[in-house]
Structure 1
């Protein structure tokens, strides 16, 4: 009996510890058996030669990328040893960042990662009353409460506050979980949740009421998103709790499907009228978010904005290769361009129109790793938004069950038992650590290129290797002209001054 009792007591003690600890979501939700996951993860490198999947095979985020995010979030060693295991010489389209030997810039102040602001003032060119320079060029992308659990949203918002970043609400409205210190970008989707009439139409008075007592710094109008361009948002019925239904103004327990397109406007002209009405009424910067397919819309938008009387303050380009949202497989696989193709397509249109400098460009869609982010900055981005990477930082294990309501880590679920795995206090620190690490590495890359700020990296700073040994400048690949994608000379001077103010 004693022999049986001791192991049983040990298991009971470990179970109790797992349930009460707040460091690991998996263990809080799956005591005892959760340790198997960490054991396999720890032994992975040593067992690699015996398993099929290597460090760069898994998608959407491979093992090396997930490891960098996890280690950064936990303040662990996020360096890698013994050189790259990428097949650099035999792959088409491999980017090479061209380090410079000398620099005319002074040495940076201590801890420069603590301050990495946007290179542009959001809303400045259109003189919005509440125009401001975002204090972080890395911010949290649109993920609705509903798609994510309440504790996950709380962790992200509190983490954004710690990191000095903006937090996009997503199209699901503004909840109590968004009010933990982080400044907000309020997203208006086609369902107008949080700013709608009883019959689902947009209501400006309701919008004003919703944002009146919240720290909303900008408004984003979602035209489409990378998970399902051309379709409305989908929140499966199991995720539509009574609280979410109240916030959105819908029926609980039933699938919440947003319309594919907006009812408040139907062309570029009425879109710009809509933007200006919101901008003039609220005083906030107003922008749009969209995946990129047919380019006619962008051509018409650029043409309408050249007049100068109406325009968007920022454009968020979302990659079309999926996200946290539930979507048909064909949409995540094939509808709209991926980010690093989409951003240059739109940039070229606005550069040719001569108005790209008047817009803050935000890149979204697997841009939350240093190399991917730098590619976006080289193509003209001024800021980046992170979504799935932020989810990974608070415990997501890429189980790819976001659409089922059964996320095992409690990030993308409304299941009461599963979401208890997230301790917002612990996880908020981790998302802030991740975002700080990303900014730090972006500054290190900027230093290697001898530029003051990531937004001052150009397409001339990157070459693309071909599998046959050819070398092509990213400028040539993108079809850019010299100087495209940079902030205005005034913004460049100001951001350099800010970055070296204490040097």
Structure 2
């Protein structure tokens, strides 16, 4: 009886509060009951994820896609039975891989437990960088910084990158101790130059050289923008600038850190190329750029200068507008920058028309971490792909879509110590490696089905986009590619084939 009176009293207090407050009309009109509406709204993503949506509906990744990543990461059965559940004939822009009728005999690669798949080009080779190298994996981990991801997640990814033999991009937050567990790094330098930053926020070349010599930095990436929020700077509130983060980023502890929307060291293509050459000469490592795609003027000038001068970038990472981020305004995430297929092909065409596309290693990003989408990128001329959210799922992300709140339930995208403790870096490292290796395996097998040794040798004719009127066009026709644009030079092709057949 006592408990009943207590509960009744609490409900009465809630009723009074709801009737008096003026912030929520629903609560004023429907005391107590109105709270259920807000509760259901809060768990809406979970309800849709597990109860409402079909296997192919949910965004940004469907249940089928997540299931494939989870099963691959855990080395479980990632097959499906009873045929496809996709509506192939009536789905616009449905991708179809056009196999070779007689197939491919396969090579020793198919008995390699690591399914090694090196890049078809030498990164930094065309420009004669001192530390040029051929990346060992065409599948690599994209830029996600410590701060946006937890320490345990970053460590798991670096350990997993070591196991799988792939590259791990640091993201723009600097090189953290959690990046230093044996995996080779691409050090991303954003507008804040974290880790190589002067006291006034400029770029410190000497510190950059020191970090490259000290750590396993194989390449440097100058981040111009990313697909989910191009043109925006960043703000890290002072309350989040702990002693650890301050030391990693080279900023004062406890003070708000501003990442400007543009770089201080350059403001045009000419100055960008000077910066790239200065950094490459000083460090010896290849230097590339990462950018989303908007207006074409920047890319036209870059290609024309590389065609007529000795200066140039070593790789170009194109990030599609469908790419992910920890937090961004919906207007930017949904509407600013072109999606990967459109943006990549426009930039690639600009370089191919000027004959300098073979002098660049092309990297694609933006929901490419699945066999068919990765294969599409290679058919369009990509030499490597970078995966971010797919890598997050491999180490435990459940697409709770709480990245921007700091309350990621799996400890991946949070700094909450209690939540982070649930993520075991050693176990999740193995899962990241399993996912990368499985994706390389699928890419190899699909390439062989198309009659070629390596995905870098695929052509735009190897894939077709169906319309919803029982027709279809090859990627070459859709994007206006000329024959031969999308495959590497004869020298690079011969070298990678020899490498694959020699294993």
Give the TM-score normalised by the residue count of structure 2.
Answer: 0.88
Partner of 2:494: 493
Q: Is 1:310 aligned to residue 311 of structure 2?
A: yes
**1:183 & 1:420 partners in 2: Cα distance?**
25
Partner of 1:58: 58
**Helix, strand or coil for the counterpart of 1:306?**
helix
Q: CA deviation at 1:203?
A: 1.0
**1:182 & 1:62 partners in 2: Cα distance?**
30
**Helix, strand or coil for the counterpart of 1:317?**
strand
User: Could you report, residue by residue, the CA deviation over 1:89-116 in whole angstroms, capped at 9, with x for unpaired residues?
Assistant: 1111111101111246554444245311
Q: Is 1:391 aligned to residue 392 of structure 2?
A: yes
Partner of 1:209: 210
**Helix, strand or coil for the counterpart of 2:220?**
strand
Q: Is 1:100 aligned to residue 100 of structure 2?
A: yes
Q: CA deviation at 1:212?
A: 2.2
Partner of 2:91: 91
Q: CA deviation at 1:500?
A: 1.2
Q: CA deviation at 1:251?
A: 4.7
User: Could you report, residue by residue, the CA deviation over 1:381-404 in whole angstroms, capped at 9, with x for unpaired residues?
Assistant: 000001000000000011111111
Q: CA deviation at 1:239?
A: 4.8
Q: CA separation of 1:124/1:468 partners in 2, compared to 1, >3 Å: closer, same or farther?
A: same
Of 192-201 and 317-326, the range deviating more from structure 2: 317-326
Superposition CA RMSD, Å: 1.8
**Helix, strand or coil for the counterpart of 1:187?**
strand
How does 1:259-298 map onto structure 2 within 5 Å? 259-298=260-299
Q: CA deviation at 1:86?
A: 1.1
Of 362-371 and 111-120, the range deviating more from structure 2: 111-120
Structure 2 unpaired stretches of 5+: 1-42
**Helix, strand or coil for the counterpart of 2:186?**
strand
Partner of 2:468: 467
User: Could you report, residue by residue, the CA deviation over 1:31-58 in whole angstroms, capped at 9, with x for unpaired residues?
Assistant: xxxxxx9xx99x96xxxxxx43101111
Partner of 2:302: 301
User: Could you report, residue by residue, the CA deviation over 1:412-442 in whole angstroms, capped at 9, with x for unpaired residues?
Assistant: 1111101111110000000000000000000
**2:92 & 2:231 partners in 1: Cα distance?**
31
Partner of 1:231: 232
User: Could you report, residue by residue, the CA deviation over 1:450-470 in whole angstroms, capped at 9, with x for unpaired residues?
Assistant: 100011111100111110111
Highest Rg: 1 or 2?
2
Partner of 2:80: 80
How does 1:76-475 map onto structure 2 within 5 Å? 76-103=76-103, 107-112=107-112, 113-235=114-236, 239-252=240-253, 256-475=257-476
User: Could you report, residue by residue, the CA deviation over 1:350-383 in whole angstroms, capped at 9, with x for unpaired residues?
Assistant: 0001000010000011111111100100111000
User: Could you report, residue by residue, the CA deviation over 1:109-143 in whole angstroms, capped at 9, with x for unpaired residues?
Assistant: 44245311011000000010000001111010000
**2:422 & 2:72 partners in 1: Cα distance?**
20
Matched positions, count: 457
Give the TM-score normalised by the residue count of structure 1.
Answer: 0.88
**Helix, strand or coil for the counterpart of 2:201?**
coil
